[in-house]
């Protein structure tokens, strides 16, 4: 009813933001399955437009920050490493994170890239290969088949190569005459790229 809509509007304006989230979560659970995805997409679009650093997924709100990324992506990666038996890739990824914590940014980038290459080697069942060759084999063996065919080559040549390029440009093949200083942000980006790629 119109008065009910007015009461609900007043409630949303006057209550704490966390209560609004609670109401949305309760209401979401009452939706039919076919409406849930549309609602979630529309709500996330509104949150992004309004620069609200929260995301709504499967009936839950999550704050978008580095802790969210680390707890979800890095946590899922740890589970995948363990269930897949990719011990070498897991060790290198953990070492990269440890290097970042110790402010050894160059080694963090090197080990993040090693972890990515070890993951590709493990998937392919090979012991050697450059990052570029491994990425091409990943495509050839069907690991990218869920991407549109026109995007697969771009994905292999551009996206999957960004981490090896960062590594190479910052001393992966020797830094030359001058010592290269690497910012923490670039090391953190490299570790997060490795996490997503892995």
Q: How far apart are CA 11 and CA 25, in angstroms?
A: 16
In this predicted model, what pLDDT tens digit does every residue of 119-156 receive, in sequence order? 999 989 999 999 999 999 999 999 999 999 889 999 99
User: Rounded to two decimals, what is the model's pTM?
Assistant: 0.64
Contact between residue 100 and residue 178 where contact means Cβ atoms under 8 Å apart: no
Both tokens of 28, joined, read 């979401």
CA 76 to each of CA 66, 134, 146: distance values in angstroms, whole numbers, following the listed order: 15, 23, 20
Both tokens of 96, joined, read 């990269």
Burial grade of 80 (CB within 10 A; 0-12, 13-18, 19 or more): middle
Strands (E), 2-119: 54-57, 60-63
The partner residues of 55 in beta bridges, in order of sequence, read 62
Q: How far apart are CA 48 and CA 54, in angstroms?
A: 8
Q: How far apart are CA 111 and CA 160, in angstroms?
A: 16
171 phi-psi bin (left φ>0, alpha ψ -120 to 50, beta other): left
Q: Where does the pLDDT of residue 49 fall: very low under 50, low under 70, confident under 90, or very high at 90 and above?
A: confident
In this predicted model, what pLDDT tens digit does every residue of 74-104 receive, in sequence order? 677 777 777 788 888 888 988 998 998 899 9
């Amino acid at each position: 009813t119109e008065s009910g809509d007015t009461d609900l509007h007043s409630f949303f304006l006057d209550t704490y933001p966390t209560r609004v989230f609670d109401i949305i979560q309760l209401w979401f659970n009452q939706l039919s399955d076919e409406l849930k995805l549309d609602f979630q997409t529309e709500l996330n679009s509104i949150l992004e437009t309004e620069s609200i650093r929260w995301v709504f997924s499967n009936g839950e709100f999550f704050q978008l920050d580095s802790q969210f990324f680390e707890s979800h992506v890095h946590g899922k990666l740890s589970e995948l490493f363990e269930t897949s038996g990719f011990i070498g890739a897991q060790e290198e990824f953990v070492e990269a994170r440890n290097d970042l914590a110790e402010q050894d940014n160059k080694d963090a980038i090197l080990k993040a890239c090693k972890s990515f290459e070890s993951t590709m080697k493990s998937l392919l069942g090979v012991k050697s290969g450059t990052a570029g060759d491994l990425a091409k084999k990943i495509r050839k063996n069907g690991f990218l088949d869920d991407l549109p065919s026109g995007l697969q080559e771009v994905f292999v040549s551009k996206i999957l190569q960004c981490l090896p390029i960062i590594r190479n440009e910052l001393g992966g093949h020797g830094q030359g005459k001058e010592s290269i200083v690497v910012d923490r942000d670039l090391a953190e980006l490299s570790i997060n790229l490795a996490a997503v790629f892995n």
